[in-house]
Amino acid sequence: MGTFYTVHFWLFSAMAIIAALAMVTRRNPVAAALWLVNVMFALAALYVMLGANFLGAVQVLVYAGAIMVVFVFVVMLLNLGENDVKERRSMGAALAASIIAGLLAAELLYVIRSQPLSSAPLLPVDEDALAPMANSLFTEHLVAFEVTSVLLLVAVVGAVVLAKRSQFANEARS
C-alpha cells in the first residue's frame, strides 16, 4: 500500500463523493444521470483498486454503459426539461434532509469505525480474478445464479406488460 495507492484511492473516493453530491443537486435529469455515470466510473476504479478487476469492468460495461444509457434514453423519450419538476427548494427542507442524511452517515460511520477492520488480515488478491468467482458462482451460488435468469425474464415481461399499448385499455379509455 504505497502512497501512490493511497493518493489514488482518496482521489477516486473524492471524485465519487463530489460527483454524487453534484448528481443529487442537479436540476436537469440528464445532468444528474451523467454525474451518476461519473460516480460509477470512480467506483469502478475503486473496485479495481480493491482487487475486483472483473467487477470494475462489469461496472463500466453494465452499469455505466447499459443501465445509465436506458436512463438517459427514458429522460429523452419523456422530453423532460429542467422545469418539468418543481423541486422543493426551501432551505429548511434541504437543511432538514441534510441533517437526516448526516445523522444517518454519522451512525453508519460510527458502526463501521468501531470495528477493528483495519487490523484484520487481508486475503491475497488473486491475479486471475475471474476463476474463483466463476467457481463460486456455478457451484455454491448456482441456485442464485439461476434465479437471476428468472429475474431478468420477469423484468422483460414486466417492462413489456407495462409499456405496451393494450387495445383493451384503449377501448376502456375511449
Partner 1 sequence: MNAGFEFAALDLGTLLLPELLLSCGAMLVLLYGAFAPEGAASTRRAHLLAILVALVSAAAAAMLANQSPPLGAATGPLAFDGFRWASVAVILLGVLGTLVMAMEYNEGAALTAAEPPALVLFAATGMLLLVGSRDLMLIFLGIELMSLSVYVLTGLDRSRPSSAEAALKYFLLGSFSTGFLLYGMALLYGSTGTTNLPEMATVISDGNLADDPLLLGGMALLFVGFAFKVAAAPFHMWTPDVYEGAPTPYTAFMAVGVKTAAFAAFARILLDGLGPAYASWHYAAWLLAAATMVVGNVLALVQQNVKRMLAYSSIAHAGYLLVAITTRSSEGVAAIVFYALAYTLATIGAFCVLSIVSGGIEKRTTLADLAGLSRTRPALATAMAVFMLSLLGFPVAGGMGFFAKWYVLRAAIGAPAPQTKLAVILVLASVVSAVYYLGVIAAMFMKPVDESRKPARVVEPRLTGGVIAVAVLLLLVLGVYPSPAVRWARASTLPMSPGRAISAPASMQAVAPTESLIRTP
Partner 2 sequence: MIREALFVSAILFSIGVLGVLTRRNALILFMCVELMLNAVNLSFIALSRLHGVSGQVFVLFVMTVAAAEAAVGLAIVLSVFRHYRTVDLGRIRLLRG
Partner 3 sequence: MPISNNDASLIWLVPALPFLGFMVNGLLSLLPAWRGVQDERTPAGRRALVSTVGVGVMLLSLTLSVWLFAAVSNQDSAITSSLGQWMAAGAFTVDWALSVDHLSILMMLVITGVGSLIHIYSIGYMADDAGFARYFAYLNLFVGFMLMLVMGANLPVLFIGWEGVGLASYLLIGFWFGDTANAAAGKKAFVVNRIGDFGLLLAMFLLFANLGTLDFATIMRDHAALSTPLVTTICLFMFLGCAGKSAQLPLYVWLPDAMAGPTPVSALIHAATMVTAGVYLIVRNAALFSAAPVACLVIVLVGALTALWAATVGLKQWDIKKVLAYSTISQLGYMFVAVGAGAYTAGMFHLVTHAFFKALLFLGAGAVIHGMHHALHATHRHDDAQDMRNMGGLMRRMPVTGALMWIATLAIAGIPPLAGFFSKDAILTAVAERALESPLAEASLGPIPGRVVLWFAYGLAVLTAFLTAIYMTRLMRYSFHGTFRSGADVESHVHDSPWLLRGPLVVLGVLTAIGGWLQLPAVLPLGPTAVLDKWLAPVSGSAATLLTGSGHLSHTAEYVLIGIAIAAAVAGIAVAFITLKPASLTTKAAAPAETGIGLVLANDYFVDAGIARAITGPIVAGSRKVLWRGLDLGVINGVLVQGTAQTIRVVSSVASRMQVGFAGSYVWAIALGAIAVIAAFTFRTMR
Q: What is the dihedral of CA 35, 40, 46, 51, to 10 degrees?
A: -170
Closest-CA residue to 20 (of 77, 101, 75, 112): 101
Site for partner 2 in 16-45 (CB under 8 A): 16-17, 20-21, 23-24, 26, 29, 32-33, 36, 39-40, 43
- Cβ nearer to partner 3, comparing 87 with 146: 87
Residue 33: how many other CB atoms lie within 10 Å: 20
Q: Which stretch binds partner 3 (CB under 8 A): 7-15, 24-32, 108-116, 134-142?
A: 108-116
The residue type of 16 is A
Q: Which stretch binds partner 3 (CB under 8 A): 21-29, 50-58, 95-103, 136-144?
A: 95-103
C-alpha 157/C-alpha 151 separation (Å) is: 10
- Cβ nearer to partner 1, comparing 4 with 168: 168
107 binds partner 1 (CB under 8 A): yes
| Residue whose cell numbers read 454503459 | 65
What is the contact surface with partner 3 in residues (CB under 8 A)? 88, 97, 100-101, 103-104, 107-108, 110-111
